[in-house]
Structure 1
């Protein structure tokens, strides 16, 4: 089999898989308008597959595992995230089709892929994305403020259990404060489709989850400095996971957002660690 035929069959398999993914996503999506768009894209993918079959003369099975994975992503992280991940694949497929400019139907496929990207940009209006700003507020504040607080407590207190206790009390109080502030802010802004109570809940939950993840190393590890290192690694992981999700769902730059949040969090943690050291040295107080 020559390389050209291999490429065509690979494209054919991708189209079969994309059709299966979009078809299944349309079954997951509850909004009629969004479902219609997904079904139209699925129909295009099916047409592409049929066109490629006329070239290869062979039937190709879709990658069932990939289809299952995207449906799982849609159920867990939302259809928007799953579709945006598919969009990244669509860009790759468009570039592959562009390698065959001598075939008019292939060029047409490339144009279809570009159109899909545009349709997908404003595809889904999910509640979790409408409240993404509230989640960002809770996460950002918890990561920046709480990594700094725990770093300061580590030098000032020195005992892991005491740090965990103090940090938990501080974190829960801060979460309630942030949730209250988000409630009042949302109520004042009167943003369409955004409810103050839900915005407060999203902010509070994001803050509390982050607090639990950052305090846990001090609960499990007796050495305070070792726990601090694990906590900072956990903070970095949370920043990476959340910003990857946000970047895909919002079609923004992962590197820029990740770098910005990581630098802020670790700078504040470093300054707080230094302040804790200086206060301990100046006051002479030992925990």
Structure 2
């Protein structure tokens, strides 16, 4: 008995679902958004005459890419709207030579660290890098999504690749990154506005994760102006690696967590700062303060 064409289309889509979800997640950094994008792709497929689609996998990847790109651009256009940026499943370990039982946790954090790095890219850079370098989508197909020529798309992907490779290094070789973070801390404590601007990328993105949601601030001047939040005296604090990137964790005098800060560094400048002050998320981190 021959299956109804709609059943065949549904079966073909389900065979692609996991891959599409992976594409959307790496572009967007949010499981919830990735699920929504994949569902929207399915709805568009239902409205499409399947007979006109020569390569279903390629068609679906293009659709998912376009929906994801629109969402990324919307985030940048409306930074005042807190979005569900995934900074969950935090892997926090001391920023020192890891003990054997910490090596596995550090390895697990590499994928999460890459997502933090990807947040520093423009929407076009992020899409081009993810589709080409992670999923081997040809440049001419990515160019159709971006509305660019193949040559221009290659340049976008190359620029993104340089940024990613400059930032996404194993923790043990991140001395330069630590130095940049230390310079930021020193400038914040001393109130040196010019020094802050020297270590901040002009398009730096600051995200504060509170119990009421995300608060996003864009731009070096705004971030430097609000740097007082980094300069308060903390009774206990220690350098840590947050999902594989340098940061600091601090505690109240009674030993309860106060905040967690992670810094994304690209080419010697801070491109992203993520601060967690949500008590629920901080409570999930089992790392004692140094005595």
Normalization by structure 2: what TM-score? 0.29
**Which structure shows the bigger proportion of residues in helix conformation?**
1
**Which structure shows the bigger proportion of residues in strand conformation?**
2
Normalization by structure 1: what TM-score? 0.30
